Amino acid sequence: MSCSNKVEKVERAFYYWKSNEWSLSDKEDSIINNVKVNKFYVKFFEVEHSDAMGNYPVAKTDINFYRHDSMQIVPTVYLRNSVFIKASKGSLDTLADNVNFLIDKYCKEKFQRQQSVKEFQMDCDWTQKSRDNYFYFLKKLKNISKKEISCTLRLYPYKYPEKMGIPPVDKATLMCYNLINPLENHDKNSILDIDELKSYLNTNNKYPLHLDVALPVYSWMQVYQNNQFSNVIYTNNKTVRKILKPIKPLWFEVLRDTVVEETYLRIGDKIKYEEMDADKIKKAINVIKNNANLRKEVTVTLFHFDVQQLTNYSNEELSSFYTDFSK
């Protein structure tokens, strides 16, 4: 299916997913100004669940956008699927109250803004088992907050709405990355594989919600020691690359012992380097434009705002990830 509407206006946005950083650096300010980004989806906190504690907030973000008063901030909350699996209606009512209260509290205390916040975004990888409770929570949050409510939409529920349901929100952000379980398919880039993206988007369904788009601008290295997955190296990829030799597509071998991010790499360790570059992102944009039913106005959000990762792209390339949608 080709999309029927040509995108005419693109709102430029970033996800901000870090915790415990007080203010933006000069370099970060420079990127915001040069790329002309005017919207940030900021993860305010996450919600986890345990039998002992019930639902509780963690991983709070402490960030100050004081130099960007005109910036539109969208409070974003990541909710683990386990929060909704066995939830009662009463606990979901309480959760909606608590999420709304915490967002308001953060807006006043940390972001010095309240009236300018128009939208809340909820981020949850819901399943068939959690769907009804998650959707109930979304409706409740809308009623309490009186805000525009958006949610993230993975590609599986996008392709199979009859199974996964249509979330009761004002709009959804189509997450065009993390398509593959990184530990299950060793031959494909789990962040973004173009063929995999096509297979999800090539559907005759016209999704009944306004769709925005999220794209990845990060790379990472998966470390395997003794053929067992060990951990992920998210930064210093260029430095690590210097001590690797390629052994097959995506895969490298460590040539000498070194320490990176508290990870001790030993000679012979294997690394799967999943790298994003501008060319791959542009190919993904073409696939999305030709398949997803986008409206005339679309918000495009890059995940995520991390200076070290963003140095892999020029400001012109970052800008093009937005403007290419309206070409």
DSSP per residue, 212-251: EEEEE---EEEEEETTEEEEEE-S-HHHHHTTEEEEETTE
pLDDT at position 2 is: 47
Outline which parts of the chain fall under CATH 3.20.20.80: 9-218+276-326
pLDDT tens per residue, range 2-58: 454 689 999 999 999 887 666 788 888 999 999 999 999 999 999 999 988 889 998
Which parts of the chain fold into alpha helices (H)?
26-35, 82-85, 89-109, 131-145, 155-159, 161-164, 194-201, 237-241, 278-291, 307-310, 315-323
pLDDT tens per residue, range 50-92: 988 889 998 888 777 666 677 899 999 999 999 999 899 999 9
**CATH classification number, 9-218+276-326, choose in 3.40.50.2300, 3.30.428.10, 3.20.20.80, 3.30.479.20:** 3.20.20.80
Enter the pTM of the model. Answer: 0.94
pLDDT tens per residue, range 152-205: 999 999 999 999 999 999 999 999 999 888 888 889 999 999 999 999 998 888
Q: Structure tokens of 208?
A: 């009944």
